[in-house]
Amino acid sequence: MNLSGGNKNVRYFFSVGYNKDQEALVGNNNNKLSLRSDNTFLPFKKMQVRIGAGYTHTKTGFNSPGRYSDFRVGNKKLPLYSRLVNDDGSPADIDYELRGAFTDTVGSGKLLDWKYRPLQELAEQDESIKTNAFIADVDLKYQFSKNFSAEVKYQYQNATDLTALNNNVNTYYARDLINDFTQIGNNAVTYIVPKNAIREESKAHLNHHALRAQLNYSHTWSGSNRLSAIAGTEVRDVSTYTTGGRVYAGVVDYSQTYPILTSSSPAKIPGYTTTSGKYVTRFVSWYGNASYDFLNRYVITASARKDASNLFGTRSNEKGVPLWSLGLAWKTSNEDFYKSGLLPYLNFRLTYGYSGNVNNSISALTTILANSPSPFTNVSNSSIYNLPNSLLRWEKIRQINAAIDFSTKKDRVKGSIEYYSKRATDVLAGKPLDPTLGTFGLITNSADVEGSGIDVQLFTRNINAGRFKWNSLVVFNQAAYKVKSFFYDADNGFTSEGIDITPIRDYNPYLLVSFRWAGLDPATGDPVGYLDKALSKDYEAIVSQTPFSDQYVSGPALPKYFGNVTNTFSWKGISVSFNVLYRFGYYFRRPTLNYSSGANLRLNPDYLKRWKRPGDEKFTNVPSSNFSVNDVYKYNFYSNSEVTVEKGGNIRLNDIRIDYTVNKIKVFRKLIPIKECEFYVFVNDINFFVWRASKAGLDPDYPLGLKPILNITTGLKINL
Amino acid sequence: MKRRDFLNTIAAIFLIISVQSCKKYLDAKPDSTLQTIENLNDLRRLLDNFLLINCSYPGLGDVLADDYYFTDQDLFNSDMAQRNFHTWVREDDTEPLWRNPYEVIMTANIVLDELPGVEYQTTEQQERNDIMGSALFLRAYYFYGLAQLFANPYNNNNNKDSDLGIPLRLNSDINTKVDRASVKETYERIIADFKQAAPLLSNSPSFKSRPGKGATYGALARTYLTMGEYDSALHYSNKYLSIHDSLANYNLLSASTTPLQDRFQKEVIFVMRSATISVLGGNRPKVDSVLFRSYNDSDLRKTIHFRMSVGRPIYRGDFDGSVISSVFSFNGIYTNEIYLVRAECYARKNQMSEALSDLNTLLVSRYVSGQFNPFTAIDANDALAKVLLERKKELMRRGLRWTDIRRLNNIPPVNSIKPVRNIFTQSFTLPEKPYLLLLPVGAIQLGGLQQN
């Protein structure tokens, strides 16, 4: 709900909103209240002041014990169709962390119940996050002259997150910890951890200041030459303070070591670990840009900016990165000689520029991170957080853009075609390192990547017959990337799903790479591959020795061509739009049947297509169930072979929006006049496939099958 | 507000955000728990990181040696790599076993590289020396540990320059390539680092997780024994025992569930253990029954070091306080080891009575009071055999037995030890050629190191 009004010198706006979301998992929910006010006034001539303030309060509950598939028994998934409810309707228990035989008998009845029941957890869990946020901003703008103005903006934000997890004595967490430490004597039971709730709380406090000062200048000569320029500077300061810990409802001795029931090693009560930290991020930027429009035909633009931050540990001169760009535009249709009935508007643009990037989490110097006190000695100590890397440098991106903007008569068709070419050098990415350096790897300058592409946007008015209109928006993108150099080579037996950067020179950085497939053995139904180009069933050797040059490269895991088509039909106040997405030229790997995972066996319909008798190899690529638990290499080969690669191309209906607008009506016995009333329904994540290249029936975005659920938003906007 | 005032405000803001004044502003630490190295205490804290520094020893020797046997079922249930190590099969699943020690070595190198740039007060000179000595000690200690698994055994007369040792990383620059040194260079570096560390360290460090002079002499004695250089081993065991000679009296321990629960008890001079080696835990490592029966009934180790599980003896004498056996190997410097080093050196130098005297000093503390009959021998060779047997009986689960097998099979006079495993109806014998672990794939492919 909002309220707004005002006159020439004062404008005001006030709104209140309340949101309640239902989450997919029972027990999780989200409530939000928001207030916002915004006032603009002109205290004296040439001066404009805007003051805004806002407040939001959010409460999110996390009381779901998790998805069925999140449960683990030891390191195995919960068996399929485990019972969650007993015949009498009470919550059923599952062997969660401890074996049933243990929890049945341990303590011979002297302990608290030690069973884990998902439905009991759902009922007992009490975890929530409350967020209070306050925001205030002040803008001052002063118009010195017709050409010259200056403005100062300041924004302040303050937010507090309070996370509270109350494990009451009926929750598994509390019962488990209490039982574990319980000391059973001959006739006495001593509770070391108080038989009560265990509460965990954490608080995060955020303060954000932003101050910006900017000068604006614009001047027009003889109607067709125009100079406009801005220059400004900005400081942002974000500081976060966090604190938190665990509280037992009773007296506990954290220093003592006690024998515990689930381990041979005695343990201390998990401490009142007050975790606190202070994080400060500071940014300073200077920027300027100018454009000169000559005869309303030729435009030159230039822009530059320098950003600096308190990037930890690097020397000051490395903190800032300069960025600049230069541009030219030619408004061809404004030339005297240009006379075209077909394209009355035509414009060419060209820009060239550099930008830089740095990852704030890494540094060229050694940084150390404080640990909690050492066990046994209780001495304060630290670990290396960032290895010294004297060769660390900025990631640089050079970009060239060339574009044409055009429109036909009466804007029947208008749009733009843009070509870009990028070269990123010294790309900061994770690079595995020789374990002799005592580390897995680090983020460093590890690659050069080249890319180019075309972006096309067309807006067409197909039908404009009075009250009925049909408009279309067509977006087409083509993008291609290539790794130009990477500072290490692919391992033997390398396969990839294209989720991480694939380190292969002259290939797309996100690449699908598989083992070559030679079908199923007609005698046994075992998968057959190649080793040194000869047929082989030595899976261990295939998996560890096949060089990259012998692997099967399908192509990129990111679409080469993609975009969307939106058609909007409107009649009187009703408009309906359909947004269709398309993606072509990419690949994904589908999940396969894993015989060797035992209790982790995922249901996969491929099981029905498995090789059962000689001859089946002509129809299927699914190996026989002749897998033993130890056949990890066999499964690794099969699941990463070319037969599990699917084409990703698809066309899907993604969302539908329906709008209904009424103007100038009177409601409530015609007493209340309404200027405009708008009602809309937005249906998102429909994911209805019009066409897909793969026959596997999977959504290439979510090959594991867990898709986002259909999302429906409705709204009503009334303007009095 | 006048036009002029407003202009002044703008100018002031530009000035505030000028290049000069923002330098300091941007020096703020983004995370209060993160910091650069500024003082000696920062370096000390890196070396006090117990869970890394004192818990990363490559203690796999206990799986390779002959103290234990495992049932087929326990081996089948354990990690495939541990199964292969136990049967001396070529296995390159050694990534953490290699990387964790090198993480300590990297930390030590960072400390050594940063130390010259860190300012200190004159009153901090001893602390500075101690930090430097500790870093050198740790680097050498871990080089030694890695050499027992990945490098050829040392043999002064027989080693060729082509016999590979380990890569000796001596600085923290990640962009330097370091190849594998020869075995000789490896041991020379270990000795040099320990010798440089000894005078820098104090006699009695504040914590047993920090090395002192004694620990360094002990480590030198152990290293020289491994190299077969008995004069030097004797020299350093004397130096060690002149500082630390007290032994735990087993008569004062009760054979309760955790008789050795004090991991900092007086025989322990420097604390060190391995990362988890799961096959060594619980009831899995069975002790050879012949070995178990060799403990005299008045030998208190029989009840303090062992417990029975389904009629089979299980070792628990690991100073970890576990009720059942822990999953670690304990690789610190303990006084009992140094008595045995000195006894062996005496025996090898034909000083029979000195050898027996050290052996008896140690063992009298292990026997029921008044029931110990001092060992005697017919000659130095007999004394040596007795010392070697007691060494095996006293120093289980310390990673030392594997080194003993390597050196006794290699350094003349050779005392061949060829353990045999019978697993899954297959019989495995320790190969004639020294069994070396394979370097992890990453060290070969990313580091360009030569494989064993």
What pLDDT, in 10s, does the model give residues A333-354?
Answer: 988 898 888 889 999 999 999 8
> Does residue B409 fall inside a structural domain?
no
User: What is the domain extent for residue B178?
Assistant: 1-198+415-452
- Mean of pLDDT values over B173-191: 93
Chain A nearest C-alpha distance from B243 (Å): 23
pLDDT band for position A560 (50/70/90)?
very high
Angle value at C-alpha A321, between A318 and A327, nearest 5 degrees: 160
Chain A nearest C-alpha distance from B33 (Å): 5
Same domain, B183 and B45: yes
Residue pLDDT, tens place only, B100-138: 999 999 999 999 999 998 999 999 999 999 999 999 999
Across chain B, mean pLDDT equals 88
**A144, A257, A382, A439: best to mutate for the B interface, most B CBs within 10 A:** A382
Distances from the Cα of A393 to the Cαs of A434, A444, B27, B114, B230, in angstroms? 21, 8, 19, 21, 52
Position B347 pLDDT exceeds 90: yes
Same domain, B95 and B240: no
- Model confidence pTM above 0.90: no
pLDDT band for position A626 (50/70/90)?
low
% of chain A with per-residue pLDDT over 90:
30
Q: What is the distance between the alpha carbons of residues A691 and A701, in angstroms, rounded to a whole number?
A: 14
**B5, B50, B444: best to mutate for the A interface, most A CBs within 10 A:** B50
Chain B nearest C-alpha distance from A217 (Å): 14
Q: What local confidence, expressed as pLDDT, does residue A371 receive?
A: 82
Same domain, B190 and B216: no
Same domain, B41 and B148: yes
Q: Which residue has the higher pLDDT, A620 or A593?
A: A620
Residue pLDDT, tens place only, B130-160: 999 999 999 999 999 999 999 999 998 878 8
Is-contact A160 A204, C-beta < 8 A? yes
8 Å CB contact of A387 and B172? yes
Chain A nearest C-alpha distance from B195 (Å): 24
Q: What is the distance between the alpha carbons of residues A382 and B35, in angstroms, rounded to a whole number?
A: 10
Angle value at C-alpha B350, between B248 and B295, nearest 5 degrees: 40
**Per mean pLDDT, which range of A53-67, B227-241, B332-346 is the poorest?**
A53-67
Q: What local confidence, expressed as pLDDT, does residue B58 receive?
A: 95
Question: B4 has which bridge partners?
Answer: none
Q: What is the distance between the alpha carbons of residues A426 and A445, in angstroms, rounded to a whole number?
A: 5
Residue pLDDT, tens place only, B239-273: 999 999 999 888 888 766 666 655 557 788 999 99
Same domain, B188 and B214: no
Query: What backbone phi and psi angles, to 5 degrees, belong to B204?
Result: -135, 95
8 Å CB contact of A47 and B1? yes
pLDDT band for position B75 (50/70/90)?
confident
- Joined together, the tokens standing for residue A212 give 């910006």
Residue pLDDT, tens place only, A300-311: 999 998 877 765
Which chain B residue is nearest to residue A234, measuring alpha carbons? B17
Q: What local confidence, expressed as pLDDT, does residue A489 receive?
A: 66
> Does residue B275 fall inside a structural domain?
no
Q: Which residue has the higher pLDDT, A401 or A443?
A: A401
- Mean of pLDDT values over A434-448: 85
Same domain, B101 and B234: no
ipTM: 0.87
Same domain, B438 and B322: no
**Per mean pLDDT, which range of A250-264, B82-96, B381-395 is the poorest?**
A250-264
> Does residue B406 fall inside a structural domain?
no
Q: Which of A244-248, A384-388, B332-336 has the highest mean pLDDT?
A: B332-336
**Residue among A234, A265, A316 whose CB faces B322 most closely:** A265
Q: What local confidence, expressed as pLDDT, does residue A99 receive?
A: 75
The count of structural domains within chain B is 2
8 Å CB contact of B447 and A312? no
Q: What is the distance between the alpha carbons of residues A603 and A607, in angstroms, rounded to a whole number?
A: 8
Same domain, B255 and B388: yes
**Residue among B3, B52, B323 whose CB faces A383 most closely:** B52
- Mean of pLDDT values over B205-225: 95
Across chain A, mean pLDDT equals 84
Domain with residue B224: its CATH number is 1.25.40.390
pLDDT band for position B16 (50/70/90)?
low
Q: What local confidence, expressed as pLDDT, does residue A296 receive?
A: 86
Looking at beta carbons, which residues of chain A come within 8 Å of B325? 264
Distances from the Cα of B106 to the Cαs of A63, A269, A433, B117, in angstroms? 44, 33, 13, 18
Block residue for tokens 């598939």: A69
Same domain, B384 and B427: no
**Residue among A264, A367, A438 whose CB faces B99 most closely:** A438
pLDDT band for position A313 (50/70/90)?
very low
Position A706 pLDDT exceeds 70: no
Chain B nearest C-alpha distance from A233 (Å): 7
8 Å CB contact of A438 and B175? no
Q: What local confidence, expressed as pLDDT, does residue A269 receive?
A: 79
Which chain B residue is nearest to residue A491, measuring alpha carbons? B445
Residue closest to A380 by CA, chosen among B31, B51, B127, B45: B45
pLDDT band for position A79 (50/70/90)?
low
8 Å CB contact of B104 and A438? yes
Q: What local confidence, expressed as pLDDT, does residue B63 receive?
A: 93
> Does residue B370 fall inside a structural domain?
yes
**Residue among A286, A436, A488 whose CB faces B449 most closely:** A436
- Give the alpha-carbon dihedral of A102, A103, A109, A112, to 10 degrees: 150
- Mean of pLDDT values over A391-416: 89
Q: What is the CA radius of gyration of chain B?
A: 26
> Does residue B372 fall inside a structural domain?
yes
Same domain, B176 and B313: no
**A256, A377, A437: best to mutate for the B interface, most B CBs within 10 A:** A437
- Joined together, the tokens standing for residue A149 give 């103005």
Contacts for B349 with CB less than 8 Å, ≥ 6 apart: B230, B231, B234
pLDDT band for position A444 (50/70/90)?
confident
- Mean of pLDDT values over A455-469: 91
> Does residue B407 fall inside a structural domain?
no
Is-contact B240 B217, C-beta < 8 A? yes
Q: What is the distance between the alpha carbons of residues B357 and B404, in angstroms, rounded to a whole number?
A: 22
Q: Which residue has the higher pLDDT, A128 or B141?
A: B141
> Does residue B410 fall inside a structural domain?
no
**Per mean pLDDT, which range of A77-81, B50-54, B119-123, B388-392 is the poorest?**
A77-81
**Per mean pLDDT, which range of A173-177, A632-636, B143-147 is the poorest?**
A632-636
Looking at beta carbons, which residues of chain B come within 8 Å of A433? 174, 442, 446
Chain B nearest C-alpha distance from A439 (Å): 6
Q: What local confidence, expressed as pLDDT, does residue B360 receive?
A: 97
Q: Which residue has the higher pLDDT, B146 or A95?
A: B146
Residue type, position B266, single letter = K
**Residue among A152, A213, A368 whose CB faces B46 most closely:** A368
Same domain, B85 and B161: yes
- Mean of pLDDT values over A37-43: 88
Number of inter-chain CB pairs under 8 A, A vs B: 215
Distances from the Cα of A236 to the Cαs of A211, A309, B200, in angstroms? 7, 9, 49
Looking at beta carbons, which residues of chain A come within 8 Å of B263? 376
Q: Which residue has the higher pLDDT, B334 or A65?
A: B334
Same domain, B42 and B177: yes
Position A75 pLDDT exceeds 60: no
- Mean of pLDDT values over A204-227: 90
Q: Which residue has the higher pLDDT, A476 or A179?
A: A476
8 Å CB contact of A264 and B322? yes
Chain B nearest C-alpha distance from A167 (Å): 29
Position A66 pLDDT exceeds 60: yes
One DSSP character per residue, A354-387 reads: EEEE--TT--SS-EEEEPPPPTTT----EEEEE-
Is-contact A608 A660, C-beta < 8 A? no
**Per mean pLDDT, which range of A120-129, A480-489, B364-373 is the poorest?**
A480-489
Residue pLDDT, tens place only, A109-120: 778 888 888 888
Residue closest to A561 by CA, chosen among A456, A653, A461: A456
> Does residue B277 fall inside a structural domain?
no
Strand, helix or coil for residue B77: helix
